[in-house]
Chains A and B, each alone.
Chain A
Amino acid sequence: MKLSFAVNGRKQSLDLDPRVTLLDALRDHVGLSGSKKGCDHGQCGACTVLVNGRRINACLSLAVMHEGDEVTTVEGLARDGPSALQAAFVEHDGMQCGYCTPGQICSATAMLEEVAAGWPSHVSADLTSKVELTQDELRERMSGNLCRCSCYPGINAAIGQVATEVPAEEETAD
């Protein structure tokens, strides 16, 4: 089946079996091996990519469902060098084996946008007020990304640093 979509800003036209997941399409057909396959069942977050700016598990989505979409992988986050989050992960040693790292970084990139948009989380005491990205909030919002090496202290420190460096935009939801 024919599919055209944009990956990291470049148009891709593929001819795929409908069974191919977005994750396999990115890795095996577009040739971007940054996104990782941990569980292949939505349970670990290693495959997290951004689709039209939102984070999703690429393993639980069929490539053919993404006609016309804009997909960003960890490779696409680096523009003129590493993104702030990518640099912070290096600085804070937010990895050991590194397998979960692309998913962590894609997830955190979109998570910060969600905070900026005022989305509440399970641990938000008040559903309607502005979100403060406390450590509790950060951990809850990143719970969809597991790290088998348990590098959570470094991961949280890296994300926490970027969250304070880039002040959240004005809340858009009331």
Chain B
Amino acid sequence: MKPFDYVRPGERSSAHEAARDGGRYVAGGTNLIDLMKLEVMTPDTLVDISRLDLDGIETVDGGLRIGATLTNSDLAADPRVRRDYPVLARALLAGASGQLRNKATTGGNLLQRTRCPYFYDTDTNCNKRTPGSGCAAIGGETRNHAVLGASEHCIALHPSDMAVALRALDATVEVEGPDGAPREIALPDLYRLPGATPHIETSLAPGDLITAVRLPAPSGDRQVYRKVRDRASYAFALLSVGAVLRMENGRIAQAALAFGGLAPQPWRDREVEALLTAETPSDALFEKAGEVLLAKADPPPGAAFKLPLTKRVLKAVLTEATQ
């Protein structure tokens, strides 16, 4: 690990100040410290935000306001989340391990970096790690790389389960700039597709502090999270689907579908949702949804298996959610 300074501010204003001087925030540390050990990330100063009093969770306007440093365990165990946002509780519980969830936080989970093995291996080229160096994944081992939204510069996935559920739930993110100015960002606007600048992953500026995630009142009572992985537990998703659905008189009145393991960010496709809306559930409809979702898919060779897998899993999830 490269040497660094460590500061632990007791209040937000001092955290902002440390960030203005170039500090990087650390919350649970389960991703950042890992990457620092490998010298993939080499901050000069760590600003520990774990004692900033950002770990609350409260009901606001019929929805929830989830503190940035609340742990993934506490969020998944919250009675309101278990009752009203089961897709979120399920996504959290499908991620990592009991130990990791006790440290992982809301903000850190959203901003965790890709698990692309080439990003981790400093002996290989990676445009995300070293802009302009090339992408060793392209033409390499691509079993768990993106089939949608990738570019010729980067085919890495976003690995979070939690973010997939938040995307289906139309979450927004509360942010404070290093000058302390607050703003709110809709989750889709937080993440950026790789394009020619895969090292720029979000719309956050240096020193921006995520303070909370906001969830609107749940719009659908049928919620499903399904994750497919190489082993039954403690593994990242090959594919995951978060579904929030409302049925009226035997028809799909509203459908929000978010996908993990497919793209560089939790993926949503309004065309697929529009296709399902006002329709009566049927296998043919669900198969059509899969076709539309993957119409623009361009999988690297190793990830071609994800196309049939996605169609089957989507059909199963929609069947379960509309029963």
Residues of A whose CB lies within 8 Å of any CB of B are 1, 17-19, 21, 40-42, 45, 48, 54-57, 60-62, 64-65, 67, 107, 110-111, 114, 117-122, 124, 127-128, 139-145, 173-174
* A65 contacts B48, C-beta separation under 8 Å: yes
Question: CA separation between A149 and B90, bound complex, in Å?
Answer: 31
Top 7 A-B residue pairs of the complex, sorted by shortest distance between their CB atoms: A144-B97, A143-B233, A18-B6, A127-B82, A143-B234, A122-B93, A19-B1
Contacts of A56 in B (CB 8 A): 99, 102-103
A91 to chain B, nearest CB (A): 24
Question: CA separation between A65 and B234, bound complex, in Å?
Answer: 25
Contacts of B30 in A (CB 8 A): 42, 57, 60
* A45 contacts B97, C-beta separation under 8 Å: yes
* B33 contacts A127, C-beta separation under 8 Å: no
Q: For the A-B complex with A128-B82, A143-B234 known, give 18 more contacts whose Cβ atoms are closer than 8 Å.
A: A17-B3, A21-B33, A42-B30, A42-B99, A55-B102, A56-B102, A60-B29, A61-B33, A64-B6, A65-B50, A120-B76, A121-B93, A122-B94, A122-B233, A143-B97, A144-B96, A144-B234, A174-B79
Question: CA separation between A1 and B8, bound complex, in Å?
Answer: 12
Contacts of B270 in A (CB 8 A): none
Instruction: Evaluate whether A57 and B89 lie within 8 angstroms (CB atoms) in the complex, with A18-B5, A18-B46, A173-B77 already known.
Output: no
Q: What are the interface flags for B84-108 relative to A under an 8 Å C-beta threshold, 1 for contact and 0 otherwise?
A: 0010011001101111101100000
B11 to chain A, nearest CB (A): 16
Closest residue of chain A to B120, judged by CB? A41
* A40 contacts B233, C-beta separation under 8 Å: no
* A55 contacts B98, C-beta separation under 8 Å: yes
20 CB-based A-B contacts, threshold 8 Å: A1-B6, A19-B1, A42-B30, A54-B73, A54-B102, A55-B102, A60-B33, A61-B33, A62-B6, A62-B29, A107-B98, A118-B77, A120-B76, A122-B90, A127-B90, A140-B233, A142-B98, A143-B98, A143-B232, A173-B79
Contacts of B94 in A (CB 8 A): 122
Contacts of A144 in B (CB 8 A): 96-100, 234
Closest residue of chain B to A174, judged by CB? B79
Q: What are the interface flags for B226-249 relative to A under an 8 Å C-beta threshold, 1 for contact and 0 otherwise?
A: 000000111000000000000000
A128 to chain B, nearest CB (A): 5
Instruction: Evaluate whether A57 and B100 lie within 8 angstroms (CB atoms) in the complex, with A19-B1, A41-B34, A174-B79 already known.
Output: yes
Question: CA separation between A57 and B94, bound complex, in Å?
Answer: 18
At the interface, is chain B mostly helix, strand, loop or mixed? mixed
Closest residue of chain B to A142, judged by CB? B98
Residues of B whose CB lies within 8 Å of any CB of A are 1, 3-6, 8, 26, 29-30, 33-34, 37, 46, 48, 50, 73, 76-77, 79, 82-83, 86, 89-90, 93-94, 96-100, 102-103, 232-234
Contacts of A64 in B (CB 8 A): 6, 8
Closest residue of chain A to B92, judged by CB? A122
* CB < 8 Å neighbour of B103 from A60, A107, A117, A143: A60
Instruction: Evaluate whether A62 and B79 lie within 8 angstroms (CB atoms) in the complex, with A19-B1, A54-B102, A67-B8 already known.
Output: no
* CB < 8 Å neighbour of B99 from A57, A62, A120: A57
Question: CA separation between A140 and B235, bound complex, in Å?
Answer: 12
Contacts of B89 in A (CB 8 A): 120, 127
* A128 contacts B37, C-beta separation under 8 Å: no
Question: CA separation between A40 and B1, bound complex, in Å?
Answer: 13
Question: CA separation between A21 and B90, bound complex, in Å?
Answer: 31
Between A41, A48, A62, the greatest number of chain B beta carbons within 10 A of the residue's beta carbon is seen for A62
* B98 contacts A141, C-beta separation under 8 Å: yes
Contacts of B86 in A (CB 8 A): 127
Closest residue of chain A to B94, judged by CB? A122
Question: CA separation between A67 and B89, bound complex, in Å?
Answer: 30
Contacts of A55 in B (CB 8 A): 98-99, 102
Instruction: Evaluate whether A128 and B77 lie within 8 angstroms (CB atoms) in the complex, with A40-B37, A56-B102, A143-B233 already known.
Output: no
Contacts of B79 in A (CB 8 A): 128, 173-174
* A65 contacts B97, C-beta separation under 8 Å: no
Instruction: Evaluate whether A42 and B46 lie within 8 angstroms (CB atoms) in the complex, with A19-B4, A119-B73 already known.
Output: no
Question: CA separation between A65 and B37, bound complex, in Å?
Answer: 16
Question: CA separation between A111 and B99, bound complex, in Å?
Answer: 9
* A41 contacts B37, C-beta separation under 8 Å: yes
B30 to chain A, nearest CB (A): 5
Contacts of A110 in B (CB 8 A): 98
* B97 contacts A119, C-beta separation under 8 Å: no
Question: CA separation between A107 and B97, bound complex, in Å?
Answer: 11
